[in-house]
Amino acid sequence: MPGKSPIPITVFTGFLGAGKTSIILSLLPQLPKDYKVVLLKNEFGDVEVDSQLAKQSHLTAVSEILNGCMCCVLVGQMKTALLEIRDNYWPDRIIIECSGSAFPATLAFQIRELERETRGDFKLDAIVTVIDAENFTGYEDSSPTSKMQASYTDVILINKWEHVSERQLDILIDELNTLNDLTPKIRCQGRNGVDPNLIFGLDTKLFSETDKELTRIDGTHNEEVETVTIYKGPASEKPHSHHDHGRGHDDQKTEDGNLEETAVEPVKEDILVAALNELSKESVWRVKGFVRVPGGTKILNWAFGRFELTDLQGGKSEGAVIRLTAMGERGEVKRAIREFAAALDAELL
Task: Tell me the domain boundaries of the chain.
Answer: 7-218, 225-348
Least confident of 108-112, 135-139, 340-344, 345-349: 135-139
Q: For residues 109 and 207, is the Cβ–Cβ distance under 8 A?
A: yes
Least confident of 93-107, 187-201, 219-233: 219-233
List, for residues 126-159, the tens digit of each pLDDT value.
Answer: 999 999 998 876 544 445 667 778 888 899 999 9
Q: Does the pLDDT value for residue 214 go beyond 80?
A: no
Please tell me the predicted confidence (pLDDT) of residue 21: 87
Q: Compute the mean pLDDT over every residue in the chain, rounded to the nearest whole number.
A: 80
Residue 165 pLDDT level (bands cut at 50, 70, 90): very high
Please tell me the predicted confidence (pLDDT) of residue 17: 81
Query: Check: CATH 3.30.1220 for 225-348?
Result: yes
Residue 224 pLDDT level (bands cut at 50, 70, 90): low
Closest CA to 288 of 36, 23, 66: 66
Average pLDDT over residues 283-306: 86
Please tell me the predicted confidence (pLDDT) of residue 220: 44
Name 121's Cβ contacts closer than 8 Å, sequence gap at least 6.
Answer: 1, 4, 6, 7, 86, 115
Question: Regarding the domain delimited by 7-218, which CATH topology (the fold level of the hierarchy) does it fall under?
Answer: Rossmann fold (3.40.50)
Residue 55 pLDDT level (bands cut at 50, 70, 90): low
What distance in Å separates the CA atoms of residue 212 and residue 215, rounded to the nearest whole number? 5
Please tell me the predicted confidence (pLDDT) of residue 340: 96
How many degrees, rounded to 5, is the angle at CA 300 between CA 131 and CA 54? 70
- 46-71 as b/e, with b when 16 or more CB fall inside 10 Å? ebbbbbbbbebbebbbbbbbbebbbb
Q: Which amino acid is at 216?
A: R
Higher-pLDDT residue of 342 and 134 is 342
Q: Does the pLDDT value for residue 249 go beyond 60?
A: no
Please tell me the predicted confidence (pLDDT) of residue 109: 82
Average pLDDT over residues 292-305: 87
What distance in Å separates the CA atoms of residue 54 and residue 103, rounded to the nearest whole number? 23
List, for residues 234-245, the tens digit of each pLDDT value.
Answer: 887 787 643 343
For the chain, first and last CA: distance in Å?
A: 46
Higher-pLDDT residue of 134 and 251 is 134
List, for residues 2-29, the tens digit of each pLDDT value.
Answer: 568 999 999 998 888 888 988 998 998 8
Please tell me the predicted confidence (pLDDT) of residue 319: 75
Helix (H) or strand (E) holding 162: none
Q: Does the pLDDT value for residue 266 go beyond 90?
A: yes
Higher-pLDDT residue of 166 and 252 is 166
Q: Please state the pTM of the whole predicted model.
A: 0.73
Q: Does the pLDDT value for residue 247 go beyond 60?
A: no
What distance in Å separates the CA atoms of residue 194 and residue 30, rounded to the nearest whole number? 9
